[in-house]
Structure 1
Amino acid sequence: MNDLTMRLNGLTKTYLKGTPGEVQVLRGVDLELRAGEAVALVAPSGAGKSTLLHIAGLLDKPDEGSVEIAGQNVAGRGDRTRTALRRQDVGFVYQFHHLLPEFTALENITLPQLANGVSEKAAQDRAMALLDRVGVAARAKHRPAALSGGEQQRVAFCRALANKPRVLLADEPTGNLDPETSDQVFGALMSLVRDAGLSALIATHNMDLAARMDRKLRLEAGVLKPVE
């Protein structure tokens, strides 16, 4: 598919602006993501990849530039609108799962849907379908503490996709796992991305995983460059 889901145009971000310690993290980032495409974002620690993901996901605002989702410039919208857009159109996955410990795997995936106005029955049905897709349906009634690291992260993937977002943003989603589990969990993530036909921007230090994606980009000196 060639549908454009997200466009980042001329993003800049400076911390401690106007001070001796000023740090310009982004210097004019441009990026287009299309439906069904998985893009690897590689960069050394401190290069600004988390800042870029937070701006793309409407968690932070750029100093300059635009964030377009489905053709609409959304970077400058108010907090309430940005929250609604983020809940509907963007899914997040982090290195650590951040599941709610007092709720089961099923409930962790159901709750975001309920907050988005989905009925409880429909939310539970979708949650079970997602858990089944990544091979952990049998663990649906278990709380995070009773799950392995790989199982926890699979549940986190399902939660990120619960509301059928247009874009998935992931920051080192397998960085906390051993190599064998990382490979298996990444395979489950890519399967979800392909099935849903969404766009994915995935930050990773693992070049073997990056090679399995459609494109590789490096954040270097505040701009994105293709990796051959």
Structure 2
Amino acid sequence: MNDVTLRLSGIEKTYLPGTPGEVRVLRGVDLALRAGEMVALVAPSGAGKSTLLHIAGLLDVPDAGAVEIAGQDMTGRGDRARTAVRRQDVGFVYQFHHLLPEFTALENVTLPQLANGVSERAAQARAMDLLTRVGVAERAGHRPAALSGGEQQRVAFCRALANAPRLLLADEPTGNLDPATSDKVFDALLELVRGTGLSALIATHNMDLADRMDRVLRLEDGRLTPAA
């Protein structure tokens, strides 16, 4: 049985190719992320970690190489197929929560499920379960503006996992928080990931957080290597 959730093979990406400003961001990146594995991605600013995450999550297309998610080779697949896999199998978390301001925390976690065909009753039940796991159930009826930064980001984690994806991609998910809040929010993320058994690739500058994951990979000069 194939237990690899995400496989990247020979991923290359160049911006402004053939011009004086050409930048080779990714130079043959290979990665196998196994089911239930939590991997930290560390990199200097501008090294291309966001580009790599976008390619892994089917938001961008590499110049060369292959992306396989949950056993499906996405090479050459059209927008409709990529969108379907992204909606079903991939969850995203960013540095800023990007919650919908006019909806409550509960609604923000419920809406992605409704868009995926889940009944309202089932969607609300799952949303409350996720919010409870990260300790913000009592804030379910509040809109984002009434939540603290840490609470907003925990709701964003729940939204990313609402449709039970197999893969979570996170780009500096605690980078906008103070150190104490960052630790608490990361604890919530860790509990969610471990509790649901999904795979996670998390970009972070925080080596204390990175060291709590299963592996730490460094992206530098367009290639991935184990962090020292």
1:74-223 to 2 correspondence within 5 Å?
A: 74-223=74-223
Letter of the structure 2 residue corresponding to residue 60 of structure 1: D
Letter of the structure 1 residue corresponding to residue 53 of structure 2: L
Letter of the structure 2 residue corresponding to residue 117 of structure 1: G
Q: Give 1:76 deviation, angstroms.
A: 2.3
Q: Distance in 2 between matches of 1:138 and 1:58?
A: 35
Q: Distance in 2 between matches of 1:78 and 1:23?
A: 26
Letter of the structure 2 residue corresponding to residue 186 of structure 1: F
Deviation string, structure 1 residues 62-93 (Cα, Å, up to 9, x no partner): 00000001221114211111111101000000
Q: TM-score, normalised by structure 1?
A: 0.98
Q: Distance in 2 between matches of 1:115 and 1:18?
A: 41
Deviation string, structure 1 residues 164-198 (Cα, Å, up to 9, x no partner): 00100000000000000000000000100001101
Q: Indicate the residue corresponding to 2:225 in structure 1.
A: 225
Q: Indicate the residue corresponding to 1:37 in structure 2.
A: 37
Q: Give 1:35 deviation, angstroms.
A: 1.1
Letter of the structure 1 residue corresponding to residue 130 of structure 2: L
Q: Indicate the residue corresponding to 1:67 in structure 2.
A: 67
Q: Is the 8 A contact 1:7 1:68 kept in 2?
A: yes
Q: Distance in 2 between matches of 1:65 and 1:80?
A: 20
Q: TM-score, normalised by structure 2?
A: 0.98
The two structures, once aligned, show a CA RMSD in angstroms of 1.1
- Which stretches in structure 2 are left out of the alignment for 5+ residues? none
Letter of the structure 2 residue corresponding to residue 101 of structure 1: P
Deviation string, structure 1 residues 29-67 (Cα, Å, up to 9, x no partner): 000011111000000110000000000000000000000
Q: Distance in 1 between matches of 2:68 and 2:11?
A: 11
Q: Distance in 2 between matches of 1:9 and 1:189?
A: 28
Which of 123-132 and 74-83 deviates more?
74-83
Number of residue-to-residue matches in the alignment:
228
Q: Distance in 1 between matches of 2:70 and 2:175?
A: 30
Q: Equivalent pairs: percent with the same residue? A: 82
**Partner SS, residue 88 of structure 2:** helix
Q: Is the 8 A contact 1:154 1:189 kept in 2?
A: yes
Letter of the structure 1 residue corresponding to residue 74 of structure 2: V
